[in-house]
A and B are shown apart, each in its own frame.
Chain A
Amino acid sequence: MTRDDLPPGTVDTGEAADATGAAGTGTAPERLIPEGEYAAPDDVQDFLINIGPHHPGTHGVMRMVTRLDGEKVAGLDVRIGYMHRSLEKIVENRSYHQVIAFTDRTTDYLAAMHNDWVYCLAAEKLMGIEVPERAEHLRMIVGEINRITSHLMSVGALGLDSGATSYFLWCFNARERLVQLLEEISGARLTYVYLRLGGVIYDAPPGWTDRVREGVRSVIDELPSYRTLFHDNYIWHERSKGISTLSPDEAMRIGAQGPVLRSTGIRWDLRRDMPYSIYDRFDFDIPVGTTGDVYDRTEVRFQEIVESAKIIHQAIEDMPTGPILAKRVPRLPTPDPGEAYARLESPRGEIGCYLVSDGGMKPYRMKWRGASFHNVAMLPALSVGYTLSDLINIVGTIDPVMGDVDR
C-alpha cells in the first residue's frame, strides 16, 4: 500500500480527544485510516514523545506532545505561549503611531509589512483617514515583495526540515536580494517600520522601481531551477503527496487559513474576495490545489510567488506621482469612540486587527487575530494518523510564525 492509496482527507478527532481537547467539535469524527489497516496490536502501548518547546522542526518555540502508536501520531497536544510578548497590553499604553513599531516585531515578523498594513487599515478606518494613491501603490509593492520573501523562507525552511539543505540555501540567496530592496526603501531588513497612518514614510529612492523589476524578475527566472531541484524531486513527492490530506468541507469546518485553505481547492483570497486597498484594480490568479496535502500546500505557496510578481509589475506600471502621506494626520490622534476591524491576506492567511477607541490618545483595546494562531489550532486535526517524520513536514507547511501565534 502506497501513500496514494490512502483515503482522502477526513480527520480523526475522536482519537485525539483526550490529548487535544478537540472532542465534540462539529461533525462526527471519522477515522483517517481504516480500522485495522495501520492499527497497532492490542499489546502495543502508546507512548508519549515531547517535541519542543525548542526543536528545529517547530519553527520557533512551540511544544507538541505527541502520543505515538508505533510510528503513527495517535494524538497531539499543541502547547503555545512561549513567545507571548504581551502585545495587547503594551499597545494599551502607547499612542496610535507608536503601535506600528510593535505590530511588525511582535506579530508575524516574516511579513512585517502586512502586519503594519492591517493595523494601519484598522486605524485609518477608525479615524477616517484617506490614503494617497502613490502610498497605496508603494504599500502594495512592498507588501508583495514581503510576501515573496516570506514564501521563499517558508518553502526553503521546509526543504531544510525534509533534508534538502541546498534548497534552503538557494531560497535564502533569492530572498536576500529582495530583502535588500526592502532595506533600500525602508532602512531595515526585517522589521521595517515603513508604513504610517495615512501612507508610508519614505518615497521610493531614484531607480528603485527599476531595481525592483530586475530583482523580482531574477527571482522568477530562477524558479524553474528550484522546481527541478526540490518540487519535482522524487523524494519530495514520496514524502509529501497524500500526506495530511484535507477536504474542502473539513477545511471549512476547522477554519483553515490562507494557503492551507486554498490548497484544498477553495479559491478564497481576501485580495480578490474582500478587496482592501487597491487590489481590485489588478489582474492576478489565485493558485489552488486539489487534495490539500503537504505537496499542494507547498505548491500553492510556490505559485503565489509568481502571482505576487505580477502584481508588483502592474503596480509599478500604474504608480502615480504625488504625496505619500495623508495631509493632516495628527501627531497624537484621538479618534472618536468606536471600533474598527480590518482584515488582510498575509502570506499565512487572514490577519485582522480589532481596534477599540474610547476617545483617548491610546487604543483602549487592540485584539490581534493571527493567521498562524488559527492554523496551529488545527494542527492536531491535520497530523493525527501520519508518522512522526511527516509531522515535521506538516508543521512546516502550516508555516507557523510563533510571534503570530502567541503575540
Chain B
Amino acid sequence: MSAAPVPGKGWQPSAGAHGEARDGFVAAARERLGAALVGYHDSRDGAVCLVTTASGYRSAAEFVRSQGIDRFDFLTCLDWPAHFTLTLQAYSFDTRLVTRLSIRIPRDGFEVPTVTDLWFLADWEEREVFDLFGVVFAGHPDLKRILNPETWEGHPLRKDYVDHMDIKRPEYF
C-alpha cells in the first residue's frame, strides 16, 4: 500500500527534500482528487493542507496514504458555529512531508467513512472524536466512547455542551 520503501533494520529515512516532495504531492493531489479537492494551502507551520469535499474524504485519505504518508499524527474536529471541520494529520517518514486533510461536515446526521484500515492509530482517534464531538464513523470496527463513561450524556467538546455539574467561573477577560 505504501509507496515509500519499507524500512528494515538499521533503516534510516532519507534527508528530506521537502520542497520537491511538497510540489509533487500537490500536483498528484490535483490530478488524482480532481473535483473533490476544494483547495490547498501551506499552513504557517509548514504543513500542506488539503481541503476536500466531505464525500471525497475517503478517497482523499486513500490518496494520502498511497503517497507514503504513513505516520499518523492526529484526527480531530473543530466546532464552528455552522459546521464541523474534521482534520486529519499525518506525515511521511521518508520525505517528512506533513499533510493535513480537512473536510467540512454538518454538525449532525453525517457519517464519515472510517480510515482505520489505512492507519492503525486512527482507531482510537476516531473513537475519541466520536466521544467528544459525536461524529459517527461509518465502518469503524468498534465505535464506542473511549474517554468518558459509556453512560455519559452529550459530547463535551461541542461548544453548546452544557455541563450541569459545572460551577461557573467568573469571566476575568
Are A89 and B43 also in contact (CB < 8 A) when A81-B149, A361-B173 are? no
B124 and A268 within 8 A (CB): no
B87-122, CB under 8 A of A: which get 1 and which 0? 101000100101010000000000000001101110
- The one of B6, B45, B70 that contacts A341, using a Cβ cutoff of 8 Å: B45
Of the 9-residue stretches B9-17, B30-38, B53-61, which lies at the interface with chain A? Answer: B9-17
Q: What's the tally of chain A residues with a CB closer than 8 Å to chain B? A: 54
Is A248 an interface residue, CB under 8 A from the partner?
Answer: yes
| Residues of A contacting B98 in the complex (Cβ-Cβ under 8 angstroms) | 341
B9 and A93 within 8 A (CB): no
Q: Which residues in B have some Cβ–Cβ distance to A below 8 Å?
A: 6-13, 43-45, 47, 70-74, 76, 78-79, 87, 89, 93, 96, 98, 100, 116-117, 119-121, 123-124, 132, 141-142, 145-149, 156-157, 161, 169, 173
A342 and B45 within 8 A (CB): yes
Are A369 and B9 also in contact (CB < 8 A) when A22-B123, A81-B149, A378-B120 are? no
A325-361, CB under 8 A of B: which get 1 and which 0? 0000000100000111111000000001010100001
How close is B7's CB to chain A, nearest CB, in angstroms? 5
**CA of A47 to CA of B9, assembled, Å:** 37
How close is A396's CB to chain B, nearest CB, in angstroms? 21
Contact sample, A vs B, 29 pairs, CB 8 Å cutoff: A20-B142, A24-B141, A80-B147, A81-B148, A84-B147, A122-B45, A125-B44, A249-B6, A249-B8, A252-B6, A255-B119, A265-B8, A265-B11, A266-B7, A267-B12, A288-B10, A290-B9, A342-B45, A354-B87, A365-B76, A365-B78, A367-B74, A373-B124, A374-B121, A374-B124, A377-B120, A377-B123, A378-B121, A407-B147
A364 and B117 within 8 A (CB): no
A352 and B74 within 8 A (CB): yes
| Residues of A contacting B73 in the complex (Cβ-Cβ under 8 angstroms) | 341, 343, 352, 369
A88 and B89 within 8 A (CB): no
Please provide the 4 A-B residue pairs with the shortest distance between their CB atoms, ordered closest to farther: A21-B142, A265-B9, A81-B147, A367-B76
Are A21 and B120 also in contact (CB < 8 A) when A81-B149, A354-B89, A356-B78 are? no
Q: Which A3-20 residues sit within 8 Å CB-CB of chain B? A: 20
The interface centre, meaning the residue of B8, B10, B124, B145 with most chain A CB atoms within 10 A of its CB, is B124
A-B contact count (CB 8 A): 121
Across the interface, name the chain B residue whose C-beta is closest to A274.
B96
Across the interface, name the chain A residue whose C-beta is closest to B76.
A367
| Residues of B contacting A352 in the complex (Cβ-Cβ under 8 angstroms) | 73-74
Q: Which residues in A have some Cβ–Cβ distance to B below 8 Å?
A: 20-26, 80-81, 84, 86, 88-89, 93, 95, 122, 125-126, 248-249, 252-255, 264-268, 273-274, 288, 290, 332, 338-343, 352, 354, 356, 361, 364-365, 367, 369, 373-374, 377-378, 406-407
